[in-house]
Structure 1
Amino acid sequence: MLSRLPKATVAAASDDDGGKKPENVKGSVSLMKKNALDLKDLGASFLDDVDELLGNKVSLQLISAENGDAANGFRGKVGKPAYLQNWSFTGISPVAGESEFSVDFDWDEEIGKPGAVLIRNYHHSEFYLKSITLENVPAHGRIHFVCNSWVYPDHKYENPRLFFSNETYLPHEMPEALRKYREEELNALRGSGKRELQEWDRVYDYAYYNDLGDPDKGPEYARPVLGGSARYPYPRRGRTSRPPTNSDPNTESRLPLPKVFDIYVPRDERFGRLKFSDFLSYFIKSGVQSIPPELKDITGRKDNEFESFEDVLDLYYGGIKIPHSTLLDNIVNNIPLELLKQIFQTDGEQLLKFPVPEVIQENLSAWRTDEEFAREMLAGVNPVIIRLLEEFPPTSKLNPTIYGNQNSVIAKEHLEHNLEGLSIGKALETNRLFILDHHDTLMPYLRKINSTSTKIYASRTVLFLRGDGTLKPLAIELSLPHANGDQYGAVSKVYTPAQNGVEGSIWLLAKTYVAVNDAGVHELITHWLKTHATIEPFVIATNRQLSVVHPVYKLLHPHFRDTMYINAMARSILINAGGLLEFTVYPSKYSMEMSSAIYKDWNFLDQALPTDLKKRGLAVDDKDSPTGLRLLIEDYPYAVDGLEIWFAIEQWVRDYCSFYYKNDEMIQRDPELQGWWKEVREEGHGDKKDEPWWPNMKSREDLIHSCTIIIWLASALHAATNFGQYPYAGYPPNRPTITRTFMPDKGTPEYAELVSNPEKVYFKTITARLQTVIGIALIEILSRHSSDEVYLGQRDTPEWTSDETPLAAFKEFGNRLSGIEEKIMQMNNDKRFKNRVGPVNMPYTLLYPTSEVGITGRGIPNSIAI
């Protein structure tokens, strides 16, 4: 086996040139030196230069795609080593730190067409290899190799690194000389499943979410293991192989705070330098989980409360000075000055001065209107919950033997005077009633959540579709568990709209409880669970089962960029016990447990946008429509733009897959594809493996539909539910994340205070100052596009395949997306569509495909990269 032969044997594998004078094949290599990428190891360049002087260079060997070597198990013949030239004298270009090197290969006719390259790095340091290009290969011309991978010193690997050319092959089409290499490369990526993984490893493997808790820190930091049980089902995450905690052998130990950025993911899944700079700013600004006690001095007030709306506005127009902190000082002192300026865009006097959120840029009070409250259910950051109300009063699906009667107490008397002359029955019949229902999701957790300092309700909000196409909230029902036990059902109260006096203050509070519920469901379920968590198993399975030359790998790989690393960071400082999400969002320590409960009902096929819309009653089949669907709310910006994007993705996937798979039999006979889909179901989403709804992957339609769903989740759905976080929720009164008191009852001191000072009661109810500051800092970074973003319809390299038909189809996909951009802008300027802009004068652009750098409220990156 070539990969295990002594280096001298490998180097000599093609020494015999038959007496012919070898031709010279020139190549160019594009890479990024470590010193251009790693702020902590600026001495790498010097050590690598020393290696060059000692003869320890970077070697490359061509591997034949045509001719096997009998002495090496008939694997493709390996050429003589060639070496990168002038390493020490090749400068770094200003474009992303790239360096271009020349390399000359002695040509051997027995090599024929090169199909792969072996690379050995004999330097001290790793480098990031972008591409290799061969010019004027005899009888074959130009051959390009897309690499995009870290190459560590050779002694770190059991086998030398290998890169295939940009040809695309189904398994049965792979040249015979390259098949063993293909198999060995996949085996290397799967790993043994045993040893502890190191930073240079390239192993993709599965684990449960058993690293959220930190029981060694104290019992209050213990958390259940998510995944692998009927009680707590969950998607799998990437294996990190850390040892168990001392307190609980089922819980994986955690990295100390300074080491969190070094959490294991396969090295090629980690952020690049530009993305890391952006994320580092989030780490510092948000203060990480051990900072909050030190940041309490930020407020300058012992009660830690906002006192007025003007007080909140100071976050944007005044700024907050961060107090001295040993941890913050240690972080900041290890960052070069230029990077610090880049992170904060400040002179250092005020590290926390937030940009003005878009929701208040045009009007400081429009967010309070009922119309805006309802519009954001269709065009806000969580536009995927609202559904058609099909029965009245609304009913619950909770088990009545456990939870008693949980059906709604909203009565027709609450609604009929606001139905433009319609009866309840006629409004239902004409599809004019809708509901934002957070009742069944939250009721099972209310006792736990409300045992903490948080005080929330389960909520139902009923809305009416008015003649002008906008929604009007008619009633809000707030419910608590019965004091005598769950089996006695819910205790509920209904609130109806009011604008003035104490009733107006109560109505604002009722809307606030709903907004808080929606914020938590959005962050934990819509955003985290249904994009981040459910996509990671597809990332792992794709790398384990599909070769880099497989067409489905090439189709999906751009949509997995950075996902494993951002998820690993989330487990380290965001969704972990005592992390930022527990600190800033109302479910607190029950956050991830609650998302596990929702995963019990997760269905892969339901994630398709058309299916989701129909399931929520917001779309019906319509054979006369170009999309085959008719929306029941015509002016539903998320659905209107989303369907345009969905069908553009679907057409691209159809064109692509149809080029490689001419019929269903080819799908069934592709062992890599079948192994991939089996592993997704049985390992990656192993707690769902017996569900009947999984596609069988026996036809092209199965493949097209499945890949369309995956790309939709990783790109458009994530964009629609992530990049609007700061524009909408950066102003906390619009989307607070915690309520700390219950609704005041008549006759109580709290009610009297509401009458005399409603603003003070409002701010005593919603998120406190400290949590607000940290929460805003968090979503500011999560909502920001980095300067190295790659958007839907784009690739980071134009030569990702050598096949012209897929390249032409991809270009057409990009053209369709450009047309969608123009259409979105036209609709946003059309005064007929009131829901696209709303009272806050904030156009809906979250599904606009492209964006500039920063917080823009637009842009669909290819992947879940933040």
Structure 2
Amino acid sequence: MTSFLFGGKGSKLKGTVILMQKNVLDINELTKVQSPGGLIGSAIGAIGSITGSIIDTATSFLGRSVAIKLISGTSADASGKGKVSKEAFLEGLLTSLPTLGDKQSAFSIHFDWDSNMGIPGAFYIDNFMQGEFFLVSLTLDDVPNHGSIKFVCNSWVYNSKKYKTDRIFFANKTYLPSDTPAPLVYYRQEELKTLRGDGTGERKEWDRIYDYDVYNDLGEPDKKATLARPVLGGSSTFPYPRRGRTGRKPTRKDPKSESRSDSVYLPRDESFGHVKSSDFLIYILKSASQNIVPQLRSIVTLQLNNPEFNTFEDVRSLYDGGIKLPTDILSELSPIPLFKELFRSDGESALKFPPPKVVQVDHSAWITDEEFAREMIAGVNPHIIKKVQSFPIKSNLDTQLYGDNSSTITKEHLEPNLGGVTVEGAYEANRLFVLDHHDPIYPYLRKINATDTKAYATRTVLFLQDNGTLKPLAIELSTPHPDGDSFGPVSKVYLPASEGVDASIWLLAKAFVVVNDSCYHQLVSHWLNTHAVVEPFIIATNRHLSAVHPIHKLLLPHYRDTMNINALARNVLVNAEGIIESTFLWGNYAMEMSAVAYKDWVFTDQGLPNDLIKRGVAVEDPSSPYGLRLLIEDYPYASDGLEIWAAIKAWVEEYVNFYYKSDGAIAQDAELQAFWKELVEVGHGDLKNATWWFKMQTRNELIEACTILIWIASALHAAVNFGQYPYGGYILNRPTKSRRFMPEKGTSEYDDLAKNYEKAYLRTITPKNDTLTDLTIIEVLSRHASDEQYLGERSEGDDWTSDSLPKEAFKRFGKKLAEIEAKLTQRNNDESLRNRYGPVKMPYTLLYPSSEEGLTCRGIPNSISI
């Protein structure tokens, strides 16, 4: 870049603008819910219309299409606002810029900028074209008395007539509100007002407004009565975190519910990036569509006339040989251009899935008690198991409504398998643990069992053995009393068995446990406790923390794509009769059951150390690393997670203390206080009266809050998400439905179980149709996109701030994560740690920070991006 003459009138300041043209395969165009054939037709139509929809060449931007006006950060006009330059237009296309990314174009621009204008701190931009573009950055070179200035933008810019206020971007400086240069104060405040909007009207695609709403768009009561769903949020019955407001009209039959539409409004910059749009076209839209899944169901149920798996080998054939499709079906599907990517068709085996890791080494190890227990601490839902806090195990359910729900598991049930240890001895030695799925499901059992699914509330008691592994001792299955809820449950306890029909009964008992765990995992551990609870933070941050605020810059990478994937989920996954309701046991009650679970959500307990202590699986110990000691020493999720947690906290602590020199600075930060107040009182407003919320008056509170939030969005989500297909892709290992009760002696079902336990097991768990849907969905959810950003990385590279010390601290954070990954690899090579591999010989890698693209069973993305 060349310098410029500067000093008086006619001085020129040279800059470089980098932008990207609109990608016609925009995610919002392809996720529209349409009539049969609509989604595929939409995709084909989009592909076919590239020529007409995309700006033909980068030179289309030349002429007088895009104008920029610089705003001074040091020199104010008479009103106190930073002086504004004359507008300048994009000029020549730069083709040899070495820093250009994929699909990016660079343009030169020259500004009239006299010496009395000072140093630029922001700029306005106008787009006079019909189409939008993605503005990546503006760089000003050789600014006198300053040097280079970088403006990192990463924002969609529409035609200027679409906006009520001018589009503004700030240099990559970082300021607390009180430290903002006086000429920029007005611009900082006005931009936040724009992002907040006025709370009225239906949002349009080009809007940038962040606002809140309740979950009232899951049902479609106008379509049919059975699609009506209760509003989640705004009540004590069904409290819920808030989602992004769209402003769509209410339904006719229920004014409290919002009508659904083909696409869901998002603040424009929350859309997926260009590369990710392509990934979703191949990997996600095919499963989330409401066309392909019904087509699969039709093929399997009607045309193949084989709606059930009959043997475990039938299930394994999904990976080994696939489901053979008749010629007429192949010819029906083959015209779809995406068919090969969608179904991996090789002509003969169209429906074929990659082998899940849990059966890649050993086809049958999943069936062992050791693996059943190991997955409670190293599987896809590894943070539910608790220490037995009292014996017999108590319930928290209201005895007035549900009677006495205390466990019926006794010492006589447990002691025969304790190897000579008494229950009292095991309890005192902290060796008794429980996977308790009783209270969350019991109040809904009567409703669930009135459908074609059949379920139990479950408790599983386990013993920590001398070799560090967990041994299941007993499973309690409970159903409501036939005379009414107030009589308490009818419960039966099942004990481990390895031979005969008793072994088959025990296998079924474990299946009922895992079905409950699968539902709780998907709706609570995964959807509610990561996806849903983070969205209010995103909204509050954009409404109250300026782009130049240090906490905005800290948290921004951890928000990437979350509102978008949540909107997509509300459209096709967690909606009425969507994928989750259709294929999981909780069915039509799935989301309202997650709302009941939200009543017990505590933000401060989402941090890993507090979570471990609350569950009783760790105790405070100042002499131990991280200040606590694990009672299950070989607990892969916990031991690996503590390494990641400590690294995140150390990074956040260094960052926060750089910008806030005292606790007083926290209380005096008007933007931070407004952000936290609204987050608590509106974003999570149904829990606003909880006493556990931070008061946000000290640096320690801010550090802890940011660490918890980053943990949830990165490591916690990675731990509960990216193992879904590796563990659950084998439906025998993690079924999502139960369809029959436990067979009783003297019945034909019991006789069938004795004759053919595989067939009886398969008739009890998820059927073939739902299995194909589950596998398709969770394979997608378990994949990393090609443009994923992992913990310790930033898409802006080194340009996210101009402050050198935070940048150096962030590099140390990245280096620390690499060291942790090497340490975790060493742990997995330690054969004495049996829980790290288990009988299935599958290492615990879900908290390895890095990953490649695809189905890797490892990697911690910065954000909840899938």
State whether TM-score is above 0.5. Answer: yes
Against the structure 1 CA distance between its residues 396 and 36, is the aligned structure 2 distance closer, same or farther, given a 3 Å change threshold? closer
Instruction: Describe how 1:752-791 pairs up with structure 2 within 5 A.
Output: 752-791=751-790
Instruction: Describe how 1:704-719 pairs up with structure 2 within 5 A.
Output: 704-719=703-718
Q: CA deviation at 1:412?
A: 1.2
8 Å Cα contact 2:325/2:348 also seen in 1: no
Deviations 1:82-116 (A, max 9, x none): 21123699999994211111112223112211001
Q: Which residue of 1 aligns with 2:12?
A: 24
Q: Which residue of 2 aligns with 1:855?
A: 855
Quick one: distance in 1 between partners of 2:814 and 2:343?
Answer: 34
- Deviates most, 789-798 or 268-277: 268-277
Of 295, 317, 320, the residue aligned with 2:320 is 317
Q: Which residue of 2 aligns with 1:865?
A: 865
Q: CA deviation at 1:284?
A: 4.5
RMSD between aligned residues? 2.3
Q: CA deviation at 1:279?
A: 2.7
Against the structure 1 CA distance between its residues 431 and 325, is the aligned structure 2 distance closer, same or farther, given a 3 Å change threshold? farther
Q: CA deviation at 1:274?
A: 2.3
Deviations 1:764-822 (A, max 9, x none): 00100000000100000000000000000110012100001101111111111111101
8 Å Cα contact 2:373/2:470 also seen in 1: yes
Quick one: distance in 1 between partners of 2:676 and 2:182?
Answer: 25
Of 68, 93, 111, the residue aligned with 1:105 is 111
Instruction: Describe how 1:261-340 pairs up with structure 2 within 5 A.
Output: 262-286=263-287, 288-289=289-290, 292-299=293-300, 300-302=303-305, 304-320=307-323
Code of the residue aligned with 1:74 in structure 2: it is G
Code of the residue aligned with 1:160 in structure 2: it is D
Deviations 1:575-596 (A, max 9, x none): 0001000011100000001000
Instruction: Describe how 1:434-833 pairs up with structure 2 within 5 A.
Output: 434-797=433-796, 798-833=798-833
Against the structure 1 CA distance between its residues 457 and 45, is the aligned structure 2 distance closer, same or farther, given a 3 Å change threshold? closer
Please give the secondary structure, in 1, of the residue aligned with 2:125.
Answer: strand
Please give the secondary structure, in 1, of the residue aligned with 2:253.
Answer: coil
Please give the secondary structure, in 2, of the residue aligned with 1:27.
Answer: strand
8 Å Cα contact 1:286/1:775 also seen in 2: no
- Deviates most, 403-412 or 779-788: 403-412
Q: CA deviation at 1:834?
A: 0.4
Against the structure 1 CA distance between its residues 726 and 786, is the aligned structure 2 distance closer, same or farther, given a 3 Å change threshold? same
Against the structure 1 CA distance between its residues 18 and 632, is the aligned structure 2 distance closer, same or farther, given a 3 Å change threshold? closer
Deviations 1:154-203 (A, max 9, x none): 11112221110000000011111011000110011001111211110000
Against the structure 1 CA distance between its residues 249 and 74, is the aligned structure 2 distance closer, same or farther, given a 3 Å change threshold? same
Of 60, 66, 86, the residue aligned with 1:58 is 66
Q: CA deviation at 1:304?
A: 1.1
Code of the residue aligned with 1:600 in structure 2: it is K
Against the structure 1 CA distance between its residues 188 and 325, is the aligned structure 2 distance closer, same or farther, given a 3 Å change threshold? farther
Q: Which residue of 2 aligns with 1:219?
A: 225
Answering whether residue 125 of structure 2 is matched by residue 119 of structure 1, we say: yes
Please give the secondary structure, in 1, of the residue aligned with 2:854.
Answer: coil
Answering whether residue 91 of structure 2 is matched by residue 85 of structure 1, we say: yes
Q: CA deviation at 1:499?
A: 1.2
Of 183, 187, 200, the residue aligned with 2:189 is 183
Code of the residue aligned with 1:62 in structure 2: it is L
Deviations 1:516-561 (A, max 9, x none): 0100000000000100000000000000000000000000011000
8 Å Cα contact 1:648/1:816 also seen in 2: yes
Q: CA deviation at 1:606?
A: 1.1
Quick one: distance in 1 between partners of 2:646 and 2:203?
Answer: 41
Quick one: distance in 1 between partners of 2:501 and 2:654?
Answer: 60
8 Å Cα contact 1:463/1:472 also seen in 2: yes
Please give the secondary structure, in 2, of the residue aligned with 1:162.
Answer: strand
Q: Which residue of 2 aligns with 1:207?
A: 213
Code of the residue aligned with 1:856 in structure 2: it is T
Please give the secondary structure, in 1, of the residue aligned with 2:222.
Answer: helix
Quick one: distance in 2 between partners of 1:217 and 1:479?
Answer: 37
Quick one: distance in 1 between partners of 2:535 and 2:503?
Answer: 45
Quick one: distance in 2 between partners of 1:118 and 1:588?
Answer: 50
Code of the residue aligned with 1:229 in structure 2: it is S
* Structure 1 unmatched runs, 5+: 1-16
Q: CA deviation at 1:37?
A: 6.0
Please give the secondary structure, in 1, of the residue aligned with 2:351.
Answer: coil
Quick one: distance in 2 between partners of 1:171 and 1:330?
Answer: 58
Identical aligned pairs, as a percentage?
57
Code of the residue aligned with 2:313 in structure 1: it is E
Please give the secondary structure, in 2, of the residue aligned with 1:77.
Answer: strand
Of 15, 18, 21, the residue aligned with 1:33 is 21
Please give the secondary structure, in 2, of the residue aligned with 1:215.
Answer: coil
Quick one: distance in 2 between partners of 1:843 and 1:428?
Answer: 30
Please give the secondary structure, in 1, of the residue aligned with 2:577.
Answer: coil
Quick one: distance in 1 between partners of 2:637 and 2:690?
Answer: 29
Q: CA deviation at 1:368?
A: 0.3
Quick one: distance in 2 between partners of 1:280 and 1:46?
Answer: 21
Q: CA deviation at 1:342?
A: 6.0
- Deviates most, 281-290 or 217-226: 281-290
Of 67, 72, 75, the residue aligned with 1:67 is 75
- Deviates most, 482-491 or 295-304: 295-304
Please give the secondary structure, in 2, of the residue aligned with 1:441.
Answer: coil
Against the structure 1 CA distance between its residues 808 and 50, is the aligned structure 2 distance closer, same or farther, given a 3 Å change threshold? closer
Deviations 1:558-613 (A, max 9, x none): 10000001000110000000100001110000000100001111111111111110
Quick one: distance in 1 between partners of 2:581 and 2:326?
Answer: 23
Question: What is the TM-score when the length of structure 1 is the normalising length?
Answer: 0.93
Quick one: distance in 1 between partners of 2:724 and 2:351?
Answer: 18
Against the structure 1 CA distance between its residues 62 and 315, is the aligned structure 2 distance closer, same or farther, given a 3 Å change threshold? same
- Deviates most, 822-831 or 410-419: 410-419
Quick one: distance in 2 between partners of 1:278 and 1:581?
Answer: 22
Instruction: Describe how 1:827-842 pairs up with structure 2 within 5 A.
Output: 827-842=827-842
Please give the secondary structure, in 1, of the residue aligned with 2:624.
Answer: coil
- Deviates most, 90-99 or 228-237: 90-99
Q: CA deviation at 1:56?
A: 3.6
Quick one: distance in 1 between partners of 2:9 and 2:422?
Answer: 93
Against the structure 1 CA distance between its residues 839 and 50, is the aligned structure 2 distance closer, same or farther, given a 3 Å change threshold? closer
Quick one: distance in 2 between partners of 1:87 and 1:180?
Answer: 34
Code of the residue aligned with 2:161 in structure 1: it is H
Deviations 1:743-782 (A, max 9, x none): 0000001001111111111110010000000010000000
- Deviates most, 748-757 or 77-86: 77-86
Quick one: distance in 2 between partners of 1:825 and 1:139?
Answer: 50
Q: CA deviation at 1:677?
A: 0.2
* Structure 2 unmatched runs, 5+: 27-45
Question: What is the TM-score when the length of structure 2 is the normalising length?
Answer: 0.93
Q: CA deviation at 1:417?
A: 1.7
Code of the residue aligned with 2:224 in structure 1: it is G
Quick one: distance in 2 between partners of 1:388 and 1:709?
Answer: 23
Q: Which residue of 2 aligns with 1:843?
A: 843
- Deviates most, 265-274 or 527-536: 265-274
Q: CA deviation at 1:344?
A: 5.9
Against the structure 1 CA distance between its residues 649 and 273, is the aligned structure 2 distance closer, same or farther, given a 3 Å change threshold? same
Answering whether residue 52 of structure 2 is matched by residue 43 of structure 1, we say: yes
Number of aligned residue pairs: 837
Q: CA deviation at 1:310?
A: 1.0
Quick one: distance in 1 between partners of 2:61 and 2:731?
Answer: 57
Q: CA deviation at 1:343?
A: 6.1
- Deviates most, 211-220 or 278-287: 278-287
Please give the secondary structure, in 2, of the residue aligned with 1:217.
Answer: coil
Deviations 1:693-720 (A, max 9, x none): 1100000011000001100000000000
Quick one: distance in 1 between partners of 2:504 and 2:429?
Answer: 33
Code of the residue aligned with 1:43 in structure 2: it is G
Deviations 1:306-360 (A, max 9, x none): 011111112112224679999x999985xxx5x7766666568765321100000
Of 157, 167, 170, the residue aligned with 1:161 is 167
Quick one: distance in 2 between partners of 1:91 and 1:686?
Answer: 49
Quick one: distance in 2 between partners of 1:19 and 1:640?
Answer: 61
